[in-house]
A and B are shown apart, each in its own frame.
Chain A
C-alpha cells in the first residue's frame, strides 16, 4: 500500500508540475526547442541503430486462443546519418476464448496484418525519428504516426528522448455492416537513460496516453440479474457501456547491472494509473549469463497486478439506465494479476560472407499465468449467478528469432 501511495504521489507530482493538461502547442514547443539543440556546439556524435534483419516466428496459445505468425524487420543505414526500417507483422488468430464461448458465438479465425516504416536522422548528438504504422483486420483498422527526438548530454552519459504519437482507429463489427466507430489517440513520451557507473545503467520513462471515441469492444457484454431479489432467475446480457474518453499515466524505472563475470542483473518497475480507476504495478527481474563467446541465457520473472475499473462488475444488479451509466465486464478491467516466467536461449557467431557481420538464432519461451479476482467462469452453469468459480488461465508464448547484422 505504501508503494502504491508513493507511486500515485510521484505521478501526481509529475502531472502537477509538468503536465496539468496537455496542450499540443506546449508539447510541440518543447519538441521544437529540443530540435534546435543540435545547432549548439557538440563534441562527439551519437550513433544510429545497427543495420540488421530480423525474422521472427511467434506463437501464443492459451484459453482456447492460438495466435501465430511471422514478423520481419529490415533496417538499413545510409551515409552514416540516415537509418530507415520496415517491419511486416502478421497475427493468424483462431479463437474460442471464454469471451467467445460464453457470449454464444462460435470459434472464429481471422488475420491481422501490420506494416510499419520509420526513419532516423542523425545530426551531431541528436537523432530525429518519424514513423508510420498501419494495422488491418476484418473489424479493426489502426493508423499511427509518431515523431521523436533524442539527445545525448553530459559526455554522452545521459540521453533524453521526447516522443509524440497520434493514432486514428476505426472500429467495425463483423456481421453488422452499419456499425463503424472511431477512436483518436494521443501519446506523449519522455525518456531518460543514464550511465550511473561503469557497470550500471538506469532508464526512466513517463508516458501519457489519451483516447477519445468508441472504446468498447463491440462484441463484449456485461451481465445483470434478471430479478435482483432472486438470483435463481438467472441473468441477462447487454452490450457494454464505456466512457468515450480515457487518459492514463505510466512511469517506469529500469536498472541494469553488469556483474564481475560476463552476466547482468536487471530490474524494472512500472506504475500505471488512469481516470477509469485502474491502478497497476508491474515488476520484473532478470538475469542474463553468457557462456563463452557465443551463447547467452536469459531468465526473467515478471509480476503484474491491477485494481478494477470503477465501472467494472462481474454481475450488475440492474441494466444500464442510459449511455452515461457505464457498465463493463471485460476481464482486462477486473481485479487481476499475472505472472510470467521466461527462459531465452541465444546463439550468436561472426560471419564473414558478403559484407555480413554476424548472425544469431534465439529461442524464447514465456509461461504466463493469469488470475482474476472478480471475473467468474460462466461455464460453471451449476452455480447461481455471482457464485460461479473464478476464472484463471495459462498461456504459452514461443518466439524463434533469426537475426543478421551487416
Chain B
C-alpha cells in the first residue's frame, strides 16, 4: 500500500514538474506543417470511428485502449 501511494505521488510530482519545464522543442513550430495536415489525425471522424468500435466490441471479446466510451449492448 505504501509503495503504491509513493509511486502515484512520485508520478504526480514528476508530471507537475514536467508541466513547468520547457525544453527546446526538437520539432520547431515551423516544421509542423505536415503534422497539421488532416490526414495526420489519428481520428478524423470521431462519430464514425466510435460507431465502428462499438461494432467490434459487440462481436469480439477485447475492449478498451481505443479512446472511446459509451454504454449499451445491441449484441444479442
Contact = CB atoms under 8 A, between A and B. Distances in A.
Interface string A59-100: 010000001000101000000000000010101010101011
Contacts of B51: 56, 58, 71, 89, 399
Contacts of B64: 187, 189, 207-209, 248-250, 272
Contacts of A252: 65-66
B12 A125 contact: no
B16 A37 contact: yes
B47 A142 contact: no
A355 interface: no
Given A144-B69, A167-B71, A366 B52 contact: yes
Contacts of A60: 55
A382 to B, nearest CB: 27
B42 A254 contact: yes
Contacts of B69: 133, 144, 146, 165, 187
Contacts, number: 227
Interface in A195-251: 195, 197-199, 201, 203, 205-209, 217, 219-220, 248-251
B42 to A, nearest CB: 6
A121 interface: no
Interface stretch (A155-163, A313-321, A373-381): A155-163
A140 B34 contact: no
A60 B57 CA distance: 14
**Size bracket of the A interface:** 35 or more
A138 to B, nearest CB: 11
Interface in B25-73: 25-27, 31-35, 37-40, 42, 45-48, 51-52, 55-56, 58-67, 69-73
A40 B61 contact: no
B13 to A, nearest CB: 8
Nearest to B32: A198
A401 B72 contact: no
Contacts of B38: 296
A306 B60 contact: yes
B47 A288 contact: no
Contacts of A362: 45, 48
A133 B50 CA distance: 13
Given A252-B65, A332-B60, A201 B71 contact: no
Which DSSP category, helix, strand, loop or mixed, fits chain A's interface?
Answer: strand
Interface residues of B, number: 56
B61 A332 contact: yes
Interface in A292-332: 296, 304, 306, 309, 332
A4 interface: no
B59 A332 contact: yes
Interface string A20-58: 110100100110011011101111000000000010101
Contacts of B45: 54, 362, 401, 403
A191 interface: yes
17 contacts: A17-B7, A29-B12, A37-B16, A58-B51, A71-B51, A100-B76, A114-B71, A133-B71, A142-B73, A201-B42, A248-B62, A264-B40, A270-B65, A274-B61, A332-B60, A368-B59, A397-B55
Given A142-B70, A144-B71, 11 more contacts: A30-B12, A40-B20, A42-B19, A56-B48, A144-B70, A189-B65, A220-B76, A270-B66, A272-B65, A332-B61, A399-B52
Interface of A: 17-18, 20-21, 23, 26, 29-30, 33-34, 36-38, 40-43, 54, 56, 58, 60, 67, 71, 73, 87, 89, 91, 93, 95, 97, 99-100, 112, 114, 116, 125, 133-135, 137, 140, 142-144, 146, 151, 153-157, 160, 165, 167, 169, 187, 189, 191, 193, 195, 197-199, 201, 203, 205-209, 217, 219-220, 248-252, 254, 256, 258, 262-264, 266, 270, 272, 274, 278, 280, 282, 288, 290, 296, 304, 306, 309, 332-333, 336, 338, 362, 364, 366, 368, 370, 395, 397, 399, 401, 403
A-B pairs with the 6 shortest C-beta distances?
A142-B71, A155-B25, A33-B12, A135-B72, A272-B62, A207-B64
